[in-house]
Structure 1
Amino acid sequence: MKKGMNWLLLLGVVILAIVPLLLVQDSEFGGADGAAEEAITEIAPAYEPWFQPLLEPPGGETESLLFAVQAAVGAGVIGYAVGLYKGRLDRQKR
């Protein structure tokens, strides 16, 4: 029962990730940084940033890779913490 529930949850996550991509045709899924930059230039066209980034990624692929790595590390930390506390709870029950 428990193994089946895990597969069902995984299937639900995959469906939630894929369905919007299939239903919303001809759309660009941009990030919040680009939307914020557009909003700022609409509100104050003469605005100049206070500073420039120290490192500029060479392309959009690199930026996507760094975001994916950040998400994977975050998921790993959360998974480790959940496993650690679950193991402690199981040990206390024994």
Structure 2
Amino acid sequence: MKPLAKNGILLVIVLALAFSPLFLARNAEFAGADDQAEKAISTLNVNYEPWFKPLWEPPSGEVESFLFALQAALGSGFVFYYLGYAKGKNSVNKKEQS
């Protein structure tokens, strides 16, 4: 099997795994873990007060989502930069040894 066909099959599998929850659970509420934890705590203890309040709250949900995505992009960029750097350094060391 050609590498292009293998990559195509893998891409289809990844897309199916990524989008199948959207079709299988059409009316489900995709809430964050923070919201679910807040609801669970408030049902267990009505008088619960948080230990501290955030220093700054984003003005909207869109800004909060943007900041979360930016954090994820910067983190993954750092990790993959390091992996590429380490691989490049390793390949240079192998060439020098030969």
> TM-score band (shorter)?
0.7 to 0.9
> Which one-letter code corresponds to 1:36 in the other structure?
A
Code of the aligned partner of 2:31 = G
Unaligned runs of 5+ in 2: none
Q: Which has the larger radius of gyration?
A: 2
Q: Quick check: 1:65 aligned with 2:62?
A: no
Indicate the percent of aligned positions where both proteins have the same amino acid. 48
User: 1:31 aligns to what?
Assistant: 32
| 3-state secondary structure, aligned to 1:25 | coil
Counterparts of 2:4 and 2:89, CA distance in 1: 21
Aligned to 1:40: 41
- Give the TM-score, by structure 2 length: 0.80
- Normalised by the length of structure 1, the TM-score is 0.83
User: 3-state SS of the aligned residue for 1:26?
Assistant: coil
3-state SS of paired residue (1:41): helix
Show structure 1 runs of 5+ residues with no match: none
1:12–1:90 distance in 2 versus 1, CA, 3 Å: farther
CA RMSD of aligned residues (A): 2.1
Count of aligned positions: 94
Aligned equivalents of 1:84 and 1:61: distance in 2? 34
